[in-house]
Amino acid sequence: MPARTPQQSHPASGIARVAVPSPLRRLFDYLIPANTHVQPGIRVRVPFGSRELTGIIVAIVDQSDIETSQLRPITEVLDHDELIPSHLLDLWLWAANYYQHPVGDALHSLLPAGLRKKSAASIRSHHSDPSQPEITPTDTDIPTPNSQQNEAIRAVNDSSGQFNSFLLDGVTGSGKTEVYLQCIDHILKQDKQAVMLVPEISLTPQTIERFRQRFSAAIAILHSGLTPRQRLNAWLEAASGVARIIIGTRSALFTPMAQPGLIIIDEEHDASFKQQDGFRYSARDLAVLRARHESIPVILGSATPSLESLYNANTGRYRHIQLTQRAGTASMPTFQLVDTRRQLSEAGLSSDLLLATARHLKQGGQVLIFINRRGFAPVLHCEDCGWTSECPSCDARLTVHRKPPHLCCHHCETRQPVPDHCPDCQGKSLGTGGTGTEQCESALATAFPDTPVLRLDRDATRRKGELERILKQINNGEPCILVGTQMIAKGHHLPGVTLVGVLDADNGLFSADFRGQEFMAQMLIQVAGRAGRASQPGEVLIQTSNPEHQSLQTLVHDGYHALARTLLNEREAAAMPPYGYLVIIRAEAVSMAAPQRYLTLARQVINSQIHSQQLNDIEVHGPLPAPMERRANRYRQHLILKSSSRSVLQSLLTPVCQILEGRSESRRVRWSVDVDPLDM
270 near ligand ADP, judged by CB under 6 A: no
- What Rg, from alpha-carbon coordinates, does the chain have? 27
Separation of alpha carbons 556 and 544, rounded Å? 12
Segment near Zn ion (CB under 5 A), from 214-222, 359-367, 390-398, 569-577? 390-398
Outline where 436-559 has alpha helix (H): 437-447, 466-475, 486-489, 506-509, 516-528, 550-558
Does residue 149 belong to the site contacting ligand ADP (CB under 6 A)? yes
CA distances from 524 to 266, 353, 521, 584 (A): 18, 16, 5, 28
Strands 260-266 and 51-61 come out as: unpaired
CB contact set of 263 (below 8 Å; sequence gap of 6+): 194, 195, 196, 197, 253, 287, 290, 291, 296, 297, 298, 299
**Which of 85, 102, 170, 261 forms a contact with ligand ADP (CB under 6 A)?**
170
173 binds, among Zn ion, ligand ADP, none (CB under 5 to 8 A by kind): ligand ADP
177 binds ligand ADP (CB under 6 A): yes
**By CB under 6 A, residue 516 contacts ligand ADP:** no
Residue with Cβ nearer ligand ADP (153 or 587): 153
Q: Enumerate residues 349-388 that contact Zn ion by CB under 5 A.
A: 382, 384-385, 387
* Surface-to-core class of residue 511, CB atoms within 10 Å of its CB (0-12 exposed, 13-18 middle, 19+ buried): middle
For ligand ADP, which is the closer residue by CB, 169 or 504? 169
Decide: is 331 part of the binding site for ligand ADP (CB under 6 A): no
175/365 with CB nearer ligand ADP? 175
End-to-end CA separation in angstroms for the chain: 49
The reply to whether 325 sits near ligand ADP by the rule CB under 6 A is no
The only residue of 13, 146, 159, 345 in contact with ligand ADP, by rule CB under 6 A: 146
Our CB check for ligand ADP shows the closer of 38 and 525 to be: 525
Q: Which residues contact 590 (CB under 8 A, 6 or more apart)?
A: 633, 634, 635
Which lies closer to Zn ion via its Cβ, residue 413 or residue 466? 413
Q: How far is the CB of 188 from ligand ADP (least distance, A)?
A: 18
- Quick check: 105 binds ligand ADP (CB under 6 A)? no
Q: Does 145 participate in binding ligand ADP (rule CB under 6 A)?
A: yes
In the annotated binding site for Zn(2+), the residues are 382, 385, 391, 394, 409, 412, 422, 425
For residue 178, state whether it binds ligand ADP (rule: CB under 6 A): yes
For residue 587, give the DSSP letter. Answer: E
Does 629 help bind Zn ion (rule: CB under 5 A)?
no
CB 480 within 8 A of CB 474: yes
d(CA 108, CA 232): 14
Binding of ligand ADP by 492 (CB under 6 A): no
User: Site for Zn ion (CB under 5 A): which residue of 39, 240, 393, 511?
Assistant: 393
SS3 482: strand
Q: Which of 17, 43, 45, 176 binds ligand ADP (CB under 6 A)?
A: 176
Bond before 145 cis per omega within 30 degrees: no
Residue 391 near Zn ion by CB under 5 A: yes
DSSP string, 214-263: H--S-EEEE-TTS-HHHHHHHHHHHHHTS-SEEEESGGGGG---SSEEEE
- Judged by beta carbon distances under 5 to 8 A according to partner kind, the member of Zn ion, ligand ADP, none in contact with residue 427 is Zn ion
675 phi and psi angles, rounded to 5 deg? -90, 135
Rounded to a whole number of angstroms, the minimum distance from the CB of residue 428 to Zn ion is 9
Of 506, 538, 479, the C-alpha closest to 373 is 506
Which residue among 265, 327, 369, 422 contacts ligand ADP (CB under 6 A)?
A: 327
Among 36, 148, 164, 174, binds ligand ADP (CB under 6 A): 174
Closest distance to Zn ion from the beta carbon of 507 (Å): 19
Q: How far is the CB of 628 from Zn ion (least distance, A)?
A: 9
Instruction: Please answer whether residues 283 and 273 qualify as being in contact, where contact means their C-beta atoms are separated by less than 8 angstroms.
Output: yes
Residues forming the site for ligand ADP (CB under 6 A): 143-146, 149, 170, 172-178, 327-328, 493
